[in-house]
Amino acid sequence: MLGRLNHVAIAVPDLAAARQQYETMLGAEVTEPQALPEHGVTVVFIKLPNTKIELLEPLGDDSPIGAFLAKNPSGGMHHVCYEVEDILAARDHLKAQGARVLGDGEPKTGAHDKPVLFLHPKDFNGTLIELEQV
């Protein structure tokens, strides 16, 4: 069911500063910021030869990233994103196995304009998992 690793997401308290750090210190190619109001975040992607790193900061006061940063003020790894061929089939299979899909269980449009779902971290060894249909 799982395809390749699409990205690893890191929550940051200051997206502009983190973006500059990756560009200047690590010489990385970083995309322009993209606001995703439906998810309550602003993101940039660091392009790597084999995957991407997503840096995300809260967008608005009720952002789920805000709660994460309240517990981890300097930021940290937030989630990993795996690609799947059919997000609805993956969701149904996972739910049948007892996994919890966050939100209303229906895919939302993610940063790459593709359907995404998030799986409860308590069902996956403390790691929030995002699935993205390719």
What CATH code is carried by the domain that includes residue 102? Answer: 3.10.180.10
Its pTM stands at: 0.94
Which residue among the candidates 54, 57, 83, 130 is catalytic per the annotation?
130
Q: Considering its fold, how many domains does the chain have in total?
A: 1
Q: Tokens in use for 31?
A: 């995309």
Tokens of 9: 């997401």
Which residue stretches of 5-110 are H helix?
A: 15-24, 64-71, 87-96
CA-CA distances (angstroms) from residue 125 to 24, 48, 104? 34, 26, 22
What is the residue-averaged pLDDT of the chain? 96
Mean pLDDT within 48-53 = 96
- pLDDT at residue 72, as a whole number: 96
Domain that holds residue 14: 2-133
Chain segment 59-101, per-residue pLDDT in tens? 998 998 999 999 999 999 999 999 999 999 999 999 999 999 9
Tell me how long the chain is: 134
From the list 129, 127, 53, 126, the residue with the least C-alpha distance to 91 is 129
Going by C-alpha positions, the residue among 57, 58, 72, 54 that lies closest to residue 112 is 54
Decide if 41 contacts 57 (C-beta within 8 A).
yes
Specify whether 130 is catalytic.
yes
Give the pLDDT score at 128. Answer: 97
